[in-house]
């Protein structure tokens, strides 16, 4: 798999044009900023910390949509980074752990977004009882992904 990817025309193209990798990394980092800002707004709101502008439903709907948009950009730029340097990424256990964490965080967000919206509709004044637990696990997963992403370069 690694050898096949490294020999592919796209990988050769990325290796021959040295400016593309830092450009992709820059877009990856901008998308991380958008994703983490949205995660913080949603999770802190679910924890009852910080501002109370807008209803819980408005805030969660608006910012969960931004989590998905940023994740699409991260997936595209991340996939190209992998194709550019397949051995560096795919053989690295921290990269593999990061992908596991991304799947867990995305899966948790996908599973929880509907109950969060319905809970916020049913009782606009009160947060659902499980919202603090969700917010803590979600924050831990996304922060873990950022740490793992940075750590890849050192393993
Ligand atoms: C969705 C699929 C994703 C893929 C395939 C992917 C892939 C990658 C790759 C290949 C790198 C380069 C690592 C290196 O060689 O040093 C990287 C860097 C990084 N990624 Fe991702 N990533 C994804 C999502 C995310 C997400 C969701 C986050 C955080 C919320 C994230 C945070 C980071 C960070 C912090 C770095 C280090 C950036 C730097 O210092 O240049 N990634 N990612």
Q: What is the mean pLDDT of the chain?
A: 93
Q: From the CB of 146, is ligand 1 less than 6 Å away?
A: yes
CB atoms within 10 A of CB 64: 19
Protein residue with its CA nearest to atom 9 in ligand 1: 78
Region of residue 50 (phi > 0: left; psi between -120 and 50: alpha; otherwise: beta): left
Answer yes or no: is the C-beta of 112 below 6 A from any ligand 1 atom.
no
Q: Which structural domain, as residue segments, surrounds residue 9?
A: 2-154
* Per-residue model confidence as pLDDT tens digits over 39-85: 999 999 999 887 777 778 888 889 999 999 999 999 999 999 999 99
Q: Is the model's pLDDT at 20 over the cut of 80?
A: yes
**CA of 77 relative to ligand 1 center, distance in Å:** 9
Q: What is the pLDDT of residue 152?
A: 98
Ligand 1 neighbour 154 (Cβ under 6 A): no
Mean pLDDT of 82-104: 98
Q: How far apart are CA 93 and CA 98, in angstroms?
A: 8
103 lines ligand 1 (CB under 6 A): no
pLDDT, greater one: 128 or 42: 42
The domain tally of the chain equals 1
* Per-residue b or e along 14-31, where b marks 16 or more CB atoms closer than 10 Å to that residue's CB: beeeeeeeeebeeebeeb
pLDDT at 125: 67
**74 within ligand 1 shell (Cβ under 6 A):** yes
- The owner of tokens 């990424």 is 89
Give residue 23's pLDDT: 98
pLDDT of 115:
84
Instruction: Output the CA 142–ligand 1 centroid distance in Å.
Output: 12
Ligand 1 atom with minimal separation from the 102 CA: 27
Q: What band does 124 get if pLDDT is binned at 50, 70 and 90?
A: low
**106 exposure class (CB count in 10 Å sphere: 0-12, 13-18, 19+):** middle
For residue 50, give the DSSP letter: S
Query: By alpha-carbon position, which residue is closest to atom 33 of ligand 1?
Result: 149
């Amino acid at each position: 798999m690694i050898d096949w990817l490294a020999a592919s025309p796209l990988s050769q193209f990325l290796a021959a044009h040295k400016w593309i990798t830092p450009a992709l990394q820059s877009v990856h980092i901008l998308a991380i900023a958008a994703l983490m800002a949205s995660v913080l707004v949603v999770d802190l709101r679910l924890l009852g910390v910080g501002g109370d502008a807008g209803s819980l439903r408005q805030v969660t709907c608006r910012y969960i949509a931004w989590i998905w948009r940023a994740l699409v950009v991260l997936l595209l730029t991340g996939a190209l980074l992998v194709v550019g340097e397949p051995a560096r990424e795919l053989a690295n256990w921290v990269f593999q752990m990061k992908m596991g964490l991304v799947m867990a965080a995305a899966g948790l967000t996908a599973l929880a977004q509907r109950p969060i919206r319905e809970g916020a509709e049913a009782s606009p004044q009160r947060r659902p009882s499980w919202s603090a637990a969700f917010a803590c696990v979600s924050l831990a997963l996304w922060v873990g992904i950022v740490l793992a992403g940075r750590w890849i370069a050192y393993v």
